[in-house]
Amino acid sequence: MPYDLPSTLHATRDGAVAVLRLSRPDKRNALDDETVKGLRRFFAELDEDVRAVVLYGEGAHFSAGLDLGEVTGEPDIHRGILHSQMWHRAFHEIQFARVPVFSVLHGAVVGGGLELAASTHVRIAEKSAYYALPEGQRGIFLGGGGSVRIPRLIGVPLVQDMMLTGRTLSAEEGYTFGVSQYLVEEGAGLAKAMELAKKAAGNAVMTNFAVLHALPQIAESSPSAGFFTESLMAAIAETTPEAQQRLRDFLEKRAAKITHKKD
């Protein structure tokens, strides 16, 4: 793959799905500057034929968060702001990627690791996953967009509890409270993520675009602005040649029906 990635990131392809592995297990996939910049480049420069991404971590943990060695040294407020903004740009590339991003969570998903997970679209947790925001214990604060994204998943009160008291959430609690959309057995996360990513990769391109870019805007708009934007997006999507073909396929009985199968 053409990406210029640091040794802490490893990319492969499986058909239309790009698979990105956090690959720094000796440091529990702690995110240093090079890794964060590499994430930014990877998501900004996805090959045109990539239709979905799966992100997972090597070793026993998804990510121990910020590489704490990167914020020690001579105190410098301006440098601190720029550092946080560098994370923002990287995770922005993920949240607003051209294609959906599926993350597999296991072991520690803490601090910046949880911020990274929160910038992906679908989170698949294995039973070993646990979530923590130990910034209070370290004397720092969220810096990777977590104060914007994590409360939108689980609410301000729970984020405050985690940050004030050091409360950790189990994989089951995370699933119940909305951190992950899926909870699977240990070791089953990557296969599940690939299955889901391949499904998403098979959707109409314009619908996936609308889900990633229009839906979150609409959900945060006033209802009147949301209804109007939705009507525009609906008209744009349904008039694409791809949509017209897919609609004909259904009406002429060439497309699969929607059924419900219990897992």
Query: Which residues belong to the active site?
Result: 115, 135
The CA-based angle 196-111-45, given to 5 degrees, is: 50
Minimum separation from the CB atom of position 184 to ligand 1HE (A): 21
Q: Which is nearer to ligand 1HE, 142 or 190 (CB)?
A: 142
Tokens standing for residue 78: 């301006």
Told to check if 198 binds ligand 1HE by CB under 6 A, we report: no
Q: Which is nearer to ligand 1HE, 143 or 174 (CB)?
A: 143
Told to check if 109 binds ligand 1HE by CB under 6 A, we report: no
Told to check if 86 binds ligand 1HE by CB under 6 A, we report: no
Told to check if 135 binds ligand 1HE by CB under 6 A, we report: yes
Count residues binding ligand 1HE (CB under 6 A).
22
Q: Which residue is nearest to ligand 1HE, using beta carbons?
A: 111
Told to check if 37 binds ligand 1HE by CB under 6 A, we report: no
Minimum separation from the CB atom of position 105 to ligand 1HE (A): 13
Provide the residue type at 60 as one letter: A
Told to check if 112 binds ligand 1HE by CB under 6 A, we report: yes
Told to check if 138 binds ligand 1HE by CB under 6 A, we report: yes
Told to check if 27 binds ligand 1HE by CB under 6 A, we report: yes
Provide the residue type at 79 as one letter: R
Minimum separation from the CB atom of position 104 to ligand 1HE (A): 17
Establish how many alpha carbons lie within 13 A of residue 200's alpha carbon, considering only the half-sphere containing its beta carbon: 25
CA separation for the pair 39, 116 (Å, rounded): 10
Contacts of 51 (CB under 8 A, 6+ apart): 16, 17, 99, 200, 201, 202, 205, 208
- Find out whether 194 and 201 touch, Cβ atoms under 8 Å: no
Of these, 30, 193, 194, 214, which contacts ligand 1HE (CB under 6 A)?
30
Q: Which is nearer to ligand 1HE, 141 or 250 (CB)?
A: 141
- Find out whether 25 and 58 touch, Cβ atoms under 8 Å: yes
Site string for ligand 1HE, 40-79 (x = CB under 6 A): ---------------------x--xxxxxx----------
Tokens standing for residue 161: 């509890």
The residues binding ligand 1HE (CB under 6 A) are: 27-28, 30, 61, 64-69, 87, 108, 110-112, 134-135, 138, 140, 142-144
